[in-house]
Structure 1
Amino acid sequence: MKTICQFLLLLLFLLSCTLSLNAQTLPQSTFTSLPSHPRILLLAGEEKSIQASIEADQSWKKVHQAILDECEKIIATEPVQRIQIGRRLLDKSRECLRRVFYLSYAYRLNKQAKYLKRAEKELLAVSAFSDWNPSHFLDVAEMTMAVAIGYDWMYDALPEESRNKIKEAILKKGIEPSLDTQYNSWLKATHNWNQVCNAGITYGALAIFEDQPQLAQQIITRSIESIVLPLKDYEPDGAYPEGYSYWGYGTSFQVLFNSAIEKLFGNIASVGNQPGFMKTAAYLLHMTGPTGSSFNYSDAGTETGLQPAMFWFAQKLKQPSLLWAEKEQLVNSRENIRTNNRLLPAMILWGHDVRLNKISAPTNKLWVGQGKNPVALMRTSWTDPNAIYVGFKAGSPSVNHGHMDVGSFVMDAVGERWAMDFGLQNYESLESKGISIWGREQGAQRWEVFRYNNFSHNTLTVNYSLQLVDGYATITTSSDKSSALYAITDLTSLYNNQLNSAKRGISIIDQQYIVVRDEIETADSSCFVRWTMLTSANARISGKDAIELSKNGKKLLLKVQSPAKVILKTWPTDPPKPYDAPNPGTMLVGFEVEIPKNSREAFTVLLIPQNNTKKISRETLPLENWRKAVVK
């Protein structure tokens, strides 16, 4: 009994401290002036401006109609069931969010009862679940957001009995588990979990505010203080350490949070204006190549898609060209709008004032971002589908969702991706076999997975060893001159147990071909170095210094300028271990060289697309002279 009393006193003390601290963040008066339902993202009456844009712009009409068509399909389905896969219920939470967001949007815009009835059925079904799986709190967060949007947007039309059941579920299965220290370690996280969980639970608090005002205020103010932690990951330039796919996850939920909070409480500087965060839209813009594939380093996939959060950034920054990739999909693409994006309605909310057909191409052809996982992204054109594109990364394997891919790159040319990255392997496919994939120390089992270690990436491997987890590389220098776009990184700390020095530079020369140059210095023992490039092209060794790659009737030549004597090779990408994912239609190409002790060696590899129109007469200079050559 004494222990329980002590715990309750401590809880009350912490609560009072939290409320006292948060009162400085948001004055009490801001909570007493909250509007009635609907209050999340889209206030009553704001549908009119969206309807006007849909009537005036064919692109927005296309998106709107795609959502309505998908709602018709949803109406014919049964609600999601509580079927957990491994440790996750997340696919069910995401599907519920997609369905409820679409149906709620359709009801707000069209007021047709069929959307209301089907959304109510979904909301009641998930509200009746035993729980929303708090042991994997992302599941709770996305489910809470789904139910909160439906409850808030259709509040006046829902029967009171249904409202009570839904409201109770938000409280008991969403908000209250977020107060349990067994489940809320994400409050101190600096990655996407923080953003997703805070956003979802805050939506729940906003939805039931009038019924639980003190608790809701605690949740909102707690989130405002906590959610700034992952914003440091965007510093200093906006490069997101976890890569393309997790940018789409963490940043989207950050924007959902920011948008909802700013709608109700105004612009809160500590949330929306952190250094680096507002620069991150440029990072994502440059992360897609002319083939339409992303630079999918870390646990990412190559598939790209509409990014609703980009419309929020473009609106905030007044930079429509940030939406170039979205324009390509909405205006120029003949493909149908993909309705698997659960946040698609938010795109209309944030972007309906933009006239997509008037967006001009970006001007910068090089983008460099430092931070935890620095990248350099370069291209020869934004409008030419045959343009050359290179995504080149530095960084460290130690970042969240990181791979041993420091120094790796991808390359597009003549409409094809020649140098590729596998990206992630499905987590459940590994966890179900007992593989521990979340450790990041040097001896972690994670690095035994083929797709995670350096053996499968477009980088160097020394003495068949792993890169060093504690290593870190920046982009040391770069140039945006059209005659020689380039970036250089120092990889030494990734190999400093075996090499004295390792540097890599990648350049697009005269907008015609690519140079990859590595400069290596050995220590007191000789080293065996492997240079590899992963590709889905067919490969034929066409000479002592060249490999011809062919794909879809197009060709690219890989030519080794130095060293003079190499053994060109191709390697299969068959899964080394039973738990590794299959990799059909791919191979590694490159060479192996033994470098004597206490010596220096330079590898110079040219990647020459078939449409190269100039004779290659330039000598590849040492990396230290690249800047001097550009200045001249």
Structure 2
Amino acid sequence: MKNIYKKFFLIILLMIMSIYFIYNFAPKLYKAYSNTKTPKKADEPADKVITDRSESTGTVNNKSSADPEIYLPKGENIIRSLKQHNENGQHPRLMAREEDFRNIKLNISKDTAMKKKFNYLQSKADMLLEREPVKYELADKVRLLPVSRDVLDRIQTLAFVYKITGDKKYAEAALLELETISSDEKFPSWHPEHFLDTAEMTAAAAIGYDWLYNYLTDSQKSLIRNALLNKGLKPALEFSMVKNSSMAGATNWNSVCNGGIGLGALALGDEGEEFERVSAQLIENGVKYLPEMLSNYAPDGAWYEGPSYWDYGTTYAAYFISSLDSTLGTDYDLSKSPGLASTGYFSIYMNGPSGLFNFSDADSYKLKSPILLWLSNKFKNGEYSWYYNSVTNEKDTTPMSLIWGNKKVKEIPIKIQDKYFNKLELVTLHNNVGKNSDSFVGFKAGKNGLSHSDLDIGSFVYDTLGLRWFCELGTENYNLPGYWDTGEKGKRWEYYRKRAEGQNTLVINPSAKPDQNVLANTKIDSFKEGSKKSFAIADITDAYKTDAVSVKRGAALYKDTGTMLIQDEITTYRPSDIWWFAHTIAKIEISKDKKTALLSKNNKKVLVSIVSPAEGHFDKMKAEPLPQSPNPPNQSPNNLEKLSIHLSNVKNTTITVTVSPVVNKNILPPELVKLQDWNIDN
């Protein structure tokens, strides 16, 4: 009897141990091997899962419990998966497969809006038929980039229209571009000296090779394939091994380089030994390095290099992740990076009625990027697709609009409200979204010294009556000497558009030195939104730490009138010289007492008024450096003016200015209220 009990006990114990093993270890084993359908042999490389980006990039990051596991597949296993998912070398597979093109063609025939968009794209392709193929040209003697972007646009458009219509004239025109950039005589290289040029050219050639694969002859495929290998992929391997390579960095260069090169590697990864070996390493690198860039979307999707570089960098991140999905059936959890799912809201909220809040190196054009359609599909967010379709028309159509927009997600109207992005310490405020009377304020604190940044802590823009009244000057000539020298004494801070005096902010005790602390890190201490008034208050003392004990700036928007209020409370260490600046392309008329200024543009007007201090008055100045400031040659002309307030020999002051649309009604200035007492009712 005892033996029976012993056997029974052993059986129960074995069952418990089996259940424990299955529950705790089987899921991890499954994940480690799930990127391939076939079991690994004993000598096959193991994939890797890490949770700290520093292990993959060599950089130091603060590990967070919110960080997702970063799945690092081995290149050999990626290529094996690529072959399994694309039997017999199946193409197309970059961002769209043959069934996707068939579905797009079907939907164009049934959907009036899609038909209009495609008709526009086809008319663009027809114009491209008349153009000579691109030429190798470094127009600024530094970059091939404009040529790379031009040929990418041409090949994408022509190849896409061919896939939908089947008309060979479009394929032939795209092939001519491909043969041109593949020719060693016409394009001896894709200019790896400035590697963005190479990455975008590789994307162009890869898309053309992939989408036209079944049209190309064997000799044409060989020509393009070898150009991709020798002018794109091999130089990329060399570039990736350079110390502190941008391919492993935190800027837009990471996603553009890994994205563009990744497309080339995914297109060629099953083409034989050398193609497979090089492609394997580059795709592995892309999956390993891209999280370093993606991590900068956390926590709220804002992008620190500004909205224009959000568009650029996110486009190539989307190209790569979309192509991993379409080629391999997985993105190795790259899309789980915190902040990526919400990054579309950053582009939406940076759009004011009259253009972007274009801080850093950015232009003021509105963002109308089809990335929103990819984000909508990837994260099942109908607000993104609704917004994209509400702000675009057929003239904004690109091939990616139709590829990413073809997979329908139910559209959900977005109610645009006031928004605070705590990653960048930036707010946008509205009072009447969707109407011509909408007033918009963009206001930022945050950090100086970031990639593409200006000394712009405290700066703002203001739109109302369908126009921008106070604006950002935007980017400067990238080839100016020292433009990328961003250290504390960097030459970048000698250029007017990059200095605080070239922003809509304060300058204290101007000199030839940088006019804000280059390493400043400032916060928005208070953000409140209401039906009558919304506001943000920032402590920007660190930007002026050598001169000031305390500097606080508040920006408010009154919802009933669309009036903006900017208030500064300043305490300096010693009697100081203080300047208040606001740039405008409007005509400026200053009143006799210099307490108000009337701005006029396109038969519309806004009134700018000084509430405090009593000794403050407006002056009209050209948008050019102060006499104390550096003024290097060859800067871009600004062709506008700025309003200024100049206070001399002051130690404690409050500067309060209101800006109101003039719409035939009395505008009463608000009472002066200390920032600490601001609320949404006063």
Q: Same fold (TM over 0.5)?
A: yes
Q: What is the distance in 2 between the residues matched to 1:18 and 1:456?
A: 55
Question: Which residue number corresponds to residue 671 of structure 2?
Answer: 619
Matched, 1:206 2:266: yes
**Cα pair distance change 1:182/1:200, threshold 3 Å:** closer
Please state how far the C-alpha of 1:62 moved relative to its aligned partner.
2.3
| In 1, Cα distance between equivalents of 2:647 and 2:676 | 23
Q: How does 1:485-500 map to 2 (within 5 A)?
A: 485-500=534-549
User: One-letter code of the match for 1:54?
Assistant: I
Q: Does 1:550 align with 2:610?
A: no
Decide whether the 8 Å contact of 1:104 with 1:115 is kept in 2. Answer: yes
Deviation of 1:180 (Å): 0.9
Q: State how far apart, in whole Å, the 1-side matches of 2:543 and 2:44 are.
A: 45
276 and 362 in structure 1: CA distance in 2 versus 1, 3 angstrom threshold: same
Residue 501 of structure 2 corresponds to which residue in structure 1? Answer: 455
The residue number in structure 2 matching 1:145 is 203
Pairwise CA distance, 1:310:
0.9
- Report the alpha carbon displacement of residue 186 of structure 1 after superposing the two structures with TM: 1.7
Alpha-carbon distance in structure 2 between the residues aligned to 1:54 and 1:601 = 63
Moved more, 443-452 or 178-187: 178-187
- 1:24 to 1:522, Cα distance in 2 relative to 1, 3 A: same
Looking at structure 1, the residues matched to 486 and 113 of structure 2 have their Cα atoms a distance apart, in angstroms, of 44
Aligned to 1:215, which of 278, 286, 297?
278
Q: Structure 1 pair 551/360, CA: closer, same or farther in 2 (3 Å)?
A: farther
Asked if the contact 2:356/2:367 (under 8 Å) is kept, the reply is no
Structure 1 counterpart of 2:441, from 356, 381, 390 = 390
Give the Å deviation of 1:595. 5.0
Q: CA deviation at 1:60?
A: 2.1
Alpha-carbon shift at residue 253 of structure 1 (Å): 0.7
Equivalent in the alignment of 2:82: 31
Aligned residue in 2 for 1:350: 404
Residues 31 and 217 in structure 1, CA contact (< 8 A), matched pair in contact too: no
Partner of 1:268: 331
The offset of 1:50, in angstroms, is 1.1
User: Retained in 2: the 8 A contact 1:89–1:133?
Assistant: yes
- Aligned partner of 1:179 in structure 2 is 237
Name the structure 2 match of 1:232. Answer: 295
| Alignment CA distance shift 1:288-1:45 (3 Å) | same
Q: Which amino acid letter does the alignment assign opposite residue 114 of structure 1?
A: K
The answer to whether the aligner puts 1:608 opposite 2:656 as a matched pair is no
The answer to whether the 8 A contact 1:386-1:414 is kept is yes
1:536 maps to what in 2? 585
Coordinate RMSD, CA, aligned: 2.3
Within 5 Å, give how 1:111-190 maps onto structure 2: 111-128=166-183, 129-181=187-239, 185-190=245-250
**Alignment-derived partner of residue 680 in structure 2:** 630
The aligned counterpart of 2:426 is 375
In the alignment, structure 1 residue 99 sits paired with structure 2 residue 148: no
Match of 2:112 in 1: 58
CA spacing shift, 1:20–1:275, aligned 2, 3 Å: closer
Whether the 8 Å contact between 1:93 and 1:143 is mirrored in structure 2 is yes
3-state SS in 2 of match to 1:473: strand
> 1:320 offset after TM fit, Å?
3.0
Residue 527 in structure 1 maps to residue 572 in structure 2: no
Tell me whether 75-84 or 497-506 shows the greater mean CA deviation. Answer: 75-84
Q: In 1, distance between residues paired with 2:531 and 2:412?
A: 20
Residues 239 and 374, structure 1, Cα contact 8 Å, conserved in 2: no
Name the structure 2 match of 1:568.
618
Mapping of 1:321-360 within 5 angstroms?
321-323=383-385, 326-331=388-393, 337-338=395-396, 344-354=398-408
Question: 1:105 offset after TM fit, Å?
Answer: 0.4
Deviation at 1:311, TM superposition (A): 0.8
Offset at residue 239 of structure 1 (A): 1.3
Cα gap change, 1:157/1:206 in structure 2, threshold over 3 Å: closer, same or farther?
same
* 1:305 shift after superposition: 4.6
TM-superposed CA distance for 1:488, in Å, is 1.6
1:82 equivalenced with 2:136 (yes/no): yes
Structure 1 residues 328 and 522: alpha-carbon distance in aligned structure 2, compared to 1, 3 A threshold: same
Cα displacement (A) at 1:614: 6.3
Q: Distance in 2 between matches of 1:17 and 1:517?
A: 65
1:196 maps to 2:256: yes
Whole-angstrom distance in 1 between the partners of 2:286 and 2:664: 54
Identity of aligned residues (%): 30
Whichever residue aligns with residue 205 of structure 1, its letter is A
Counterparts of 1:580-591 in structure 2, within 5 Å, are: 580-584=635-639, 586-591=640-645
The DSSP-based 3-state class of the residue aligned with 2:132 is coil
CA distance in 1, matches of 2:519, 2:264: 39
Task: Flag structure 2 segments of 5+ consecutive residues without an equivalent.
Answer: 1-42, 49-71, 626-630
Aligned ranges 1:298-309 → 2 under 5 Å:
298-309=360-371
- For residues 144-201 of structure 1, give each alpha carbon's deviation from its aligned partner in whole angstroms, at most 9, with x where no partner exists: 0100011011112101111101000000110001111487512221000000000111
CA–CA distance in structure 2, aligned partners of residues 552 and 360 of structure 1 = 35
Report the equivalent of 2:646: 592
- In 1, Cα distance between the equivalents of 2:669 and 2:265? 66
- Partner residue of 2:372? 310
Structure 1 contact 419–533 (Cα < 8 Å) conserved: yes
Matched, 1:514 2:572: no
Do the aligned residues in 2 keep the contact of 1:18 with 1:218 (CA within 8 Å)?
A: no
Question: Partners of 1:374 and 1:114 in 2: how far apart?
Answer: 51
Contact persistence 1:34–1:264 (CA under 8 A): yes
**Alpha-carbon spacing, 1:171–1:595, altered in 2? closer, same or farther (3 Å):** same
Q: Which residue of 2 aligns with 1:5?
A: none
Aligned partner of 2:17 in structure 1 is none
Superposed CA deviations along residues 447-500 of structure 1, whole A, max 9, x for unmatched, are 111111111110000011411100011222211212111112111110000001
Quote the offset at 1:579 in angstroms.
1.0
Within the alignment, does 1:479 sit opposite 2:509 as a pair?
no
Counterpart Cα distance in 1 of 2:241 and 2:450: 23
Rounded to whole Å, the distance in 2 between the matches of 1:537 and 1:18 is: 64
1:400-415 maps to which residues of 2 (within 5 A)? 400-415=451-466
Cα deviation digits, residues 385-405 of structure 1 (max 9, x gap):
220001111122211000111
Structure 1 range deviating more: 361-370 or 526-535: 361-370
Query: 1:12 is matched with which residue?
Result: none
The corresponding residue for 1:7 is: none
Q: After the TM superposition, which of the residue ranges 259-268 and 603-612 deviates more from structure 2?
A: 259-268
* DSSP 3-state at the match of 2:404: helix
Post-superposition offset of 1:276: 1.5
Cα deviation code 1:46-82 (max 9, x no counterpart) = 1122123323333322221121111111111111111
Contact 1:285 1:324 in 2 (8 A): no
For 2:671, what is the secondary structure of its paired residue?
A: coil
Larger Rg: 2
Task: In structure 1, give the amino acid aligned to 2:655.
Answer: F
- CA drift of 1:580 comes to 1.2
SS of match in other structure, 2:646: strand
Contact 2:162–2:168 (CA<8 Å) still a contact in 1? Answer: yes
**Distance in 2 (alpha carbons) for counterparts of 1:511 and 1:266:** 51
Do 2:349 and 2:416's aligned partners in 1 also have CA atoms closer than 8 Å? Answer: no
- Number of aligned residue pairs: give it: 594
